[in-house]
Amino acid sequence: MTQAVQTPFAVAQTTVPIAGSDLRFPVRRIYCIGRNYAAHALEMGSDPSREPPFFFQKPTDAIQVVLPDTVADHPYPPLTQNYHYEVELVAALSRGGRAIPVEKALDCVYGYALGLDMTRRDLQRGMGDQKKPWEIGKSFDHAAPIGPIHPVGQTGHYHEGEIWLAVNGERKQQATLSHMIWSVAEQIARLSQAFELFPGDLIYSGTPENVGPVVRDDVIVAHVDGLPELSIRIV
């Protein structure tokens, strides 16, 4: 009989609502891919050809759940004067493994959500210029807003469809998911070469071009075809 582990204090488990269910998705890790749309790679000073993808992580407690038909308050973070939005499709895994073949990778996906990879761009660039890790620019409180996860049985897999983001009603980012350099399946396969993937992992699959700054009182609306829009107000 397994004895319950005793700890001196409780640590909350990060979870995300599952659309159409009372169940919640438990988050183990958050992986993000960088520069996965050609035009965004160019605006960030990179070669958009199919160079090997690179990934980074955010802490699980960077999640900020944003429910449909609400405008969630999103705190402007400290230490930055250049706070950027990045709209992304998020894949949520219910299976994992190592060295997963591309043709089997989508079998790992439980569902999809709409997310934002919020970025302290000045800190990211400053650390990069110093050849230091730029985690401080990507990994901070509330850095990963996300909507409910929609099971694959409801949505199917995403290979195309519009992805866009507006600030105060003005469209800033716009592309189609087919513009990804590395597909969700390819991202899962590549990640599984470097890490053993597990149920509960989230993959933020990259953002289109025209990332840019927001300030307090700005309202962001993010959209992916087939998912409820996600909206936050910077406070």
| Tens-place pLDDT, residues 58-111 | 999 999 999 999 999 999 999 999 999 999 999 999 999 999 999 999 999 999
Q: Is residue 212 part of a domain?
A: yes
Q: Tokens 């990507």: give the residue.
A: 138
Check residue 38 and give its pLDDT.
76
Q: For residue 4, tell me if it sits in a domain.
A: no
Residue-wise pLDDT for 168-177, tens only, equals: 999 999 999 9
Both tokens of 12, joined, read 């909350």
The number of distinct structural domains making up the chain is: 1
- Assess if residue 22 is contained within a domain: yes
HSE-up (13 A, CA, CB side) for residue 7: 5
pTM: 0.95
Domain limits at 65? 15-234
Q: Looking at the domain assignment, is residue 229 inside a domain?
A: yes
Confidence of residue 49 (pLDDT cuts 50, 70, 90): low
Specify if 9 maps to a domain.
no
- Residue 129 has phi, psi (to 5 degrees) of -65, -30
Which CATH number do you get for residue 198? 3.90.850.10
Q: Does residue 3 lie in a domain region?
A: no
What is the C-alpha to C-alpha distance for residues 157 and 183, in angstroms, rounded to an integer?
A: 11
| Nearest-angstrom CA–CA distance, 234 and 47 | 32
Instruction: Determine the Cα–Cα distance for residues 83 and 77; give it in Å rounded to an integer.
Output: 8
CA 89 to centroid of chain Cα atoms = 7
Q: Tell me whether residue 8 is in a domain.
A: no
Is 6 contained in some domain?
no
Question: What would the pLDDT profile of 51-69 be if each residue is shown by its tens digit?
Answer: 788 899 999 999 999 999 9
What is the per-residue pLDDT for 207? 94
